[in-house]
């Protein structure tokens, strides 16, 4: 019995990561960054992306791993659940044409910034 389509499951996964980031991740930890990287790699491997977009997102993932390994805590927020959940949601929604799309780097970055800012606004409003 299938309850969700693969696309709906991917959207739900991204939303769960964002909700976790908003409600529970007050401080980004090494473990949460590694968890986000692993789930993000699965998403990258399962989405048909242009090479340029894939390479930039892969580079972001590798930088996240390096930041976690070197424990560069000042950079942790850029690789926490709110940031990774935002880019996951952009990729999933973009691959289905529900937002700007994922077929060029500019649209991915613009979409990511918009979603990222909305997620952080919600985080700020909830934690006031």
Tell whether the model's pLDDT for residue 7 goes beyond 70. Answer: yes
At 2 the pLDDT is 84
d(CA 65, CA 124): 26
Does the pTM exceed 0.75? yes
Residue range 21-74, pLDDT digits in tens = 999 888 888 888 888 888 888 888 888 878 888 888 889 889 999 998 999 989
**Domain range summary for the chain, segments of one domain joined by +:** 6-126
Residue range 65-123, pLDDT digits in tens = 999 899 998 998 888 999 999 998 998 888 777 776 667 788 888 888 999 999 999 99
């Amino acid at each position: 019995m299938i309850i969700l389509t693969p696309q709906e499951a991917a959207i739900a996964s991204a939303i769960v990561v964002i909700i976790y980031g908003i409600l529970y991740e007050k401080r980004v930890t090494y473990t949460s960054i590694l968890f986000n990287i692993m789930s993000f790699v699965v998403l990258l491997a399962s989405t048909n992306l242009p090479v340029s977009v894939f390479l930039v997102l892969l580079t972001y993932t590798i930088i996240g791993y390096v930041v976690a390994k070197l424990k560069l805590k000042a950079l942790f927020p850029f690789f926490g659940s709110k940031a990774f959940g935002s880019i996951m949601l952009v990729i999933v929604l973009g691959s289905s044409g529900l937002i700007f799309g994922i077929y060029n780097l500019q649209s991915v970055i613009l979409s990511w910034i918009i979603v990222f800012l909305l997620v952080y606004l919600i985080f700020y409003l909830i934690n006031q």
